[in-house]
Amino acid sequence: MDMRVPLSLSLTRRRLAFLMALGARVVREGTSLGDLSIFSLHMGYVPQGGGEHSSQVEAVQAISRLTGEEVGSFRNLLHWSVLGRLWALLTTSEHDFFVDTYPLTSDEQKSRWPEATDSHCHLDRLCAQVGMTLDENIWSHLRDRSPMIEVEVNLGALVTNFCDPHTYPNDALLQTLSKLRCFPTIGLHPKGAEKYRDSEIKEFIRLLGTPEVGGFGEVGLDHSVHYSEWLGQAVLLQRVLGYLEERHVLVLHCRGSTQDMDGREVNKRLLSILHGVVNRDRRIYLHCFRGDMEVFRAFTDAFPNTYVGYTHKTGDLTPGSLLALRTIPTERLLIETDAPYFTGPNIGPISSPTVVGLAARNVGMVRGESVNDVLTATVANFQRLYRLNWVGAVS
C-alpha cells in the first residue's frame, strides 16, 4: 500500500488495515504497528540515513492520529525498502490477497506519481525469464512481478522490441499490445546475423507491414563479438534496410568493441551503411547510447531527427559519454530500461519497465535536472518520436 498517495480518510484506513494484516502474517496475530517496526529493526530491514519523503511522513502522521500510537514507534515502516522486505516474506497467495483486498482507486493510481515512458525493453525476453505470459494482462503481470522500485513513476507507455524470430508475436498479440500502449517494434538483433534463416527474415518483413508495428528494429552493429562476425552483421543490415517504411522509427543497436567504448569506430561504420539508403528525415532512435558528442553530432548532422536513449547505468559511461549526456539537447533525450537487462543491487537479478524511474533519476543527476524535469521531457519526446498521443492512465 503506497505511502505517497494523496491523503484521504478512506485511504488512511486502508493503509492501517494493510499494515495490521501484514503484521499478523509476518509476526503474529494482534501485532501492533510498533511491534512490526521493532521486528523490522531486529531483522535488519531498516536502512541507515532516513530517506523519508514529506508525503510519506504525512501518511504515517495520519495513521498515528487514527490509532493513537506515537509516530516514532512505527516511523520506520514508511520506508519503501522496509515494506518491500516484509512483502518478500509473504507467499504468492498472500500477495494475491493483499493486492485484491487493498487496491488503490483509479484516481489514486493516476495521482500518485509523475508519468513516465520506457523507450526500449524486451517483454518477450522478460516474460521468458520470470515465467510470465505475454498477453492482455501484461500490465498486471509487470506490477505483480516488479523488482524493488526505488523511484516510483506512473508508467504510461512503453516500446517493446521483438528481435528474436523464435519469439516474434502473432498478429493478434500485436493488436493487443498496441491497445495496451506496449507499442511493438520488430527487428533482427545483430548478434544473430549469421544464424537467421531466410524464412525468419521473411517473417520479419511480413510483420513490418502490419499497422501495429511502428518501429524497425532493433537492428544494427555489435562489435562486442569476435571480429569474424562483423561483416555478416553489415551484410544483414544492408539486406533488410530496403524494407524500411516511412512510418517506421529506425531503432538502432550500435555497440563498440572493448577498444571502442565510446563507439566512434562502430558508429562510423553504421553511418556509412545508412548514408544513401536511409532518408535524411528518417526518425531514428539510438538505444542504449554510449557515444560521445562527436558521435552524436555525426548522427544528427546526417539525420536531424535522431533521438538517444539512456538506462540507469550512467556510472558505466566513459568520460566522453558522460559529457555527451550532460550536453545533448533535452528535445533529443529518452530513457529506457532495456529490460530484462541492466540489473543491479537496487533492482535485483532481472530488470523491468517498472524501474524506469531509476533511469530518470540517474540521468537527471548527470544533467543537473530533477526527476520530474527528465520525465516531462522524455514523455514528450517519446510521443513525438513515435507519433503517439494518449490521455489518462493505461487500462
| pLDDT of amino acid 99 | 82
If pLDDT is split at 50, 70 and 90, which confidence band does 60 have? confident
Q: Strands of 215-222's sheet, edge to edge?
A: 115-121, 154-162, 182-186, 215-222, 249-255, 284-286, 306-310, 333-335
Q: What is the pLDDT at residue 92? A: 85
Please state which of the ranges 97-111, 160-174, 182-196 shows the lowest mean pLDDT. 97-111
List pLDDT tens digits, range 86-134. Answer: 988 999 889 889 888 888 776 666 656 789 999 999 999 999 999 999 9
Is the pLDDT confidence value at 52 over 80? no
Provide the pLDDT for residue 141. Answer: 87
Q: Could you tell me which residue, 347 or 383, shows the higher pLDDT?
A: 383
Q: CB under 8 Å to 180, separation ≥6 — which residues?
A: 136, 138, 139, 394, 395
Of 49 and 183, the one with more pLDDT: 183
CATH 3.20.20.140 domain extents, the chain: 115-386
Fold of 115-386: TIM Barrel (3.20.20)
- The DSSP secondary structure of 218-243, one letter per residue, reads EEEEETTS-GGGHHHHHHHHHHHGGG
Are 232 and 194 a contacting pair, CB within 8 Å? yes
pLDDT of residue 252: 98
What are the angstrom distances between the C-alpha of 328 and each of 362, 367, 374?
15, 9, 13
Residues 6 or more apart whose CB falls under 8 angstroms from that of 265 comprise: 223, 256, 257
Which has the minimum average pLDDT: 81-85, 187-191, 248-252?
Answer: 81-85
Q: Average pLDDT of 292-320?
A: 97
Per-residue pLDDT tens for 17-30?
A: 999 999 999 999 99
CB atoms within 10 A of CB 217: 26
pTM > 0.75: yes or no: yes
pLDDT reading at 79 higher than 50: yes
Q: List, as own/partner pairs, every contact residues 300-303 make where C-beta atoms lie below 8 angstroms and the sequence separation is at least 24, other chains included.
A: 300/332, 302/271, 302/274, 302/275, 303/274, 303/278
The pairing of beta strand 154-162 with beta strand 249-255: unpaired
pLDDT bracket for residue 174 (50, 70, 90): very high
| Residue 81 clears pLDDT 70, i.e. is over it | yes
- Written as one string, the DSSP assignment of 146-213 is ----SS--EEEEEEEEE--GGG---HHHHHHHHHTTEEEEE---GGGTTT--HHHHHHHHHHHTSTT-
